[in-house]
Chains A and B, each alone.
Chain A
Amino acid sequence: MSADATPSIARHSLADRVLRRGPLEAVATTIIAAGVVMLMQPFSLTLYSWSFATTLFGTVMFTFVSKVRE
C-alpha cells in the first residue's frame, strides 16, 4: 500500500493497522491450529469438547478475512 510509504502512517489509528489481511489471517490460522491441537490433545476432555467450535470459528474467520483489503 502506497499510504504506508508516506509519513501519513502516523495518522492511521490502531484499528486501521491491525485490521488488515496479513495479521488477521495470521490470527485465523492460529485459531484453526489451536482447534486442531485441542481436538487431538490427550490432556483435557473439556478442551476436546470445545475444539470443533474453535476450528469452525477459525475457518469462518479465515474465509471472511481473506476478503479484507490487503
Chain B
Amino acid sequence: MIPVPGSVHAMNELSASSRITYRAVRVRPGVARRIRGLSDKTLAWLFITPTIVLLLAINIFPLLWTIYLSFTNYRANRANVPTIWLGADWYQSILTDPDIWAAMQVTAHFVIWTVVIETVLGFGLAYLIDKKFRGHGLWTTIILLPMMLSPAVVGNFWTFLYQPQIGLFNYVVAFFTGRAASSFQMLGDVTLSPWAIVIVDAWMWTPYVMLICLAGLRSIPDYIYEAAEVDRASKWRQFWSITLPMALPFIMLAVLFRAIENFKMFDMVNLLTGGGPGSTTEVASITLKRAAFESWRTGYSSAFAIILFVTVFGLANIYVKALNKVKSR
C-alpha cells in the first residue's frame, strides 16, 4: 500500500483520543495486515510466482534449450550420435542460403498483401459501421464470426471451396469471368497459390482489423467534428485531417499484430497448400516445420527458430509500445 502523504503527520498531531477515532474511520490497511494474515509482499509473490514458474518451465527453459541446440549438430531422430559444438555455423548457413531467403520473400508477399487488404477493407467496414445504421450490432457480430474460427479448420474447408472441378470458389469465378471452372487451380498453380492463401487470410482476419479500427473511430470525440463544421471544413478534409490521424494509433496496432501473426503463420497455410506447389507458398514456418519435423535437422532448425523468434520478439516490443499508446487514450 502506498501511504497517503501527510497522513503520518496528521496522526502525530492528533491527540490520543482522536487518533482512536481516526483509526476507526480510516485504518490504514497496512496496520490490519501486519496484525493478521500475510503481508502484501508475500501475497504478491504467492500470487505471481505460479504463473512465472509455469512460463519458465514451458516457455523459457525450452527457449534456452533451443538456443543451446542451435549451436550444435543435434538431430532428434539420432539422439545417440555424440553432440558436437558448431558455434554459429547454422546461423551463417541459414543467413546465406538463397532458398531460405526465398522463403522469407514468400512470407513477405503473404504478410504485405494480407495486411494491406485487411487494413483497407477493415477500415472501410469500420467507417461504414460507425455510421450506426439500424441493426449494426447484429451485422457486426456476423462479420466477426470468421476470425473466431480455427485457422486449421478454415484452411481445410477452403481447400474444398478451391477444388478446381467441384469447388464453389472456382464456380463463382467461372460464373463471373466466363472461364471454365476447371481451367484454373487456385492451390495447384504457381502464380495463383500465393494469392489463394492471401484471400483466405483476408477473409478470416479482416474482421479483426475492422473491430480495432471501429474502436479507434469511436474514440474520436464529436466536438472535434463539430468544431470542423464550424470552420466549414469539407467532409473530405475532415476525413484526412481528423478521422484518419486520430484513428491511426489503432490502425497501427491492428497492422502490427496482423503482421506478427502472419509472419509466423503456419496452420492455415499448412492445410491449404502445405507450402506447395513446389515451394511457392512455403512461408517461413513451413520451412521450419519441414526442417525440424521432416528432415529432423534439429540443430539447424533451432537456429532458424531463434532467427524467427528474435524477429517476432523485436516486433512484439514495438507492438506493446503501440498498445500503451492506445491505452492512454
Contacts and interface: CB of A to CB of B under 8 A. Distances in A.
Size range of the chain B interface in the assembly: 10 to 19
Contacts of B318: 29, 32-33
A49 to B, nearest CB: 5
Nearest to B259: A36
A42 B105 contact: yes
A48 B105 CA distance: 10
A36 B310 CA distance: 10
A56 interface: yes
B203 interface: no
Given A55-B310, A56-B310, A36 B315 contact: yes
Contacts, number: 54
B111 interface: yes
Contacts of B311: 35-36, 39, 52, 55
A55 B314 contact: yes
B314 A48 contact: no
B323 interface: no
B87 to A, nearest CB: 15
A59 B315 CA distance: 8
Interface string B92-124: 000110100100110110010000000000000
Contact of A52 (B95, B107, B315, B321): B95
Contact of A25 (B91, B95, B107, B321): B321
Nearest to B101: A48
B314 A58 contact: yes
Contacts of A56: 310, 314
A34 B98 CA distance: 20
A49 B108 contact: no
Contacts of A42: 105, 108
Nearest to A37: B108
Contact of B111 (A40, A45, A50): A40
Contacts of B141: none
Contacts of B307: 52
Given A48-B95, A52-B95, A32 B105 contact: no
B257 to A, nearest CB: 14
Contacts of A58: 314
Interface string B195-222: 0000000000000000000000000000
Contacts of B175: none
A14 B42 CA distance: 45
B310 A48 contact: no
Contact of B310 (A25, A40, A52): A52
B317 A59 contact: yes
Interface of A: 25, 28-29, 32-33, 35-36, 39-42, 45, 48-52, 55-56, 58-59, 62-63
Given A32-B318, A62-B314, 8 more contacts: A25-B321, A29-B318, A42-B105, A52-B91, A55-B311, A55-B314, A59-B310, A59-B313
